Structure 1
């Protein structure tokens, strides 16, 4: 049986995104209704759309150049401890011990060490574990 609460949550989020996009694109009510009917013929309101039709409308908004903003956590600046881990990671790359210097690769390493792959979500204790592991690895290399 489908999870009705998750369907409602998807619908709520999709409608919120659509109305944010309308505002950010500067669409008038008439332009918005025209857009809805061009994405889903015969309908003029997002409230009347099925989940699949909501996806079509979101795709149409993306074609017009609208992009959803990053979640707030993604906007947060990285803490200094993360930059320290990054510098150690790059030193290991320069030493030839890390093949991929990307943030994503460091995130995968961090996930193996702490269970947390998003560097912005590391606690001080978890960041310390990662930094100490990278320091020890660097000492073994030198």
Structure 2
């Protein structure tokens, strides 16, 4: 049995148990339903671990995906970030956060997750920010 798979499967099982708010008797019943005679997930073989995870999926549990580790920013996103911060320094953007830049990018490209932007889409965002920087600053209201 692949030990790495086993370790990850056991970790997912314990996370699912917690997130599904299963008490100990319910949890043990699920293990027994997958592997009669077994009471602990540590006793399960690879096939049984997979079957138990499938049962959790049937109950609606889904593992969380760590987006930050999935895909880094394309270099052009950093350029967009610098332009965004410059607009903030000039008082033309109220919120300097990544989330606010993401909302702006979504309006420009339809893609709100900056990690999902390709170079062409990042270029659209950069050009829009450059045009914004070239506009005259808002005049104070009298």
Query: Shared fold (TM-score greater than 0.5)?
Result: yes
TM-score (ref. length: structure 2): 0.57
> 1:26, CA displacement in angstroms?
6.5
CA RMSD of aligned residues (A): 3.5
Of Structure 1 and Structure 2, the greater helix share is in 1
Displacement over 6 Å in runs of 4+: none
Structure 2 residue ranges without an equivalent (≥5)? 35-49, 138-142
* Equivalence for 2:78: 83
Q: What is the count of residue pairs matched by the alignment?
A: 105
Unaligned 5+ residue runs, structure 1? 1-18, 59-66
- 1:107·1:118 contact (CA, 8 Å) conserved in 2? yes
Pair member with larger Rg = 2
Q: Distance in 2 between matches of 1:131 and 1:70?
A: 27
Following superposition of structure 1 onto structure 2, how do residues 1-142 of structure 1 map, counting pairs within 5 Å? Answer: 23-24=7-8, 38=24, 39-44=26-31, 45=34, 47=51, 49=55, 51-52=58-59, 55=61, 68-71=64-67, 74-141=69-136
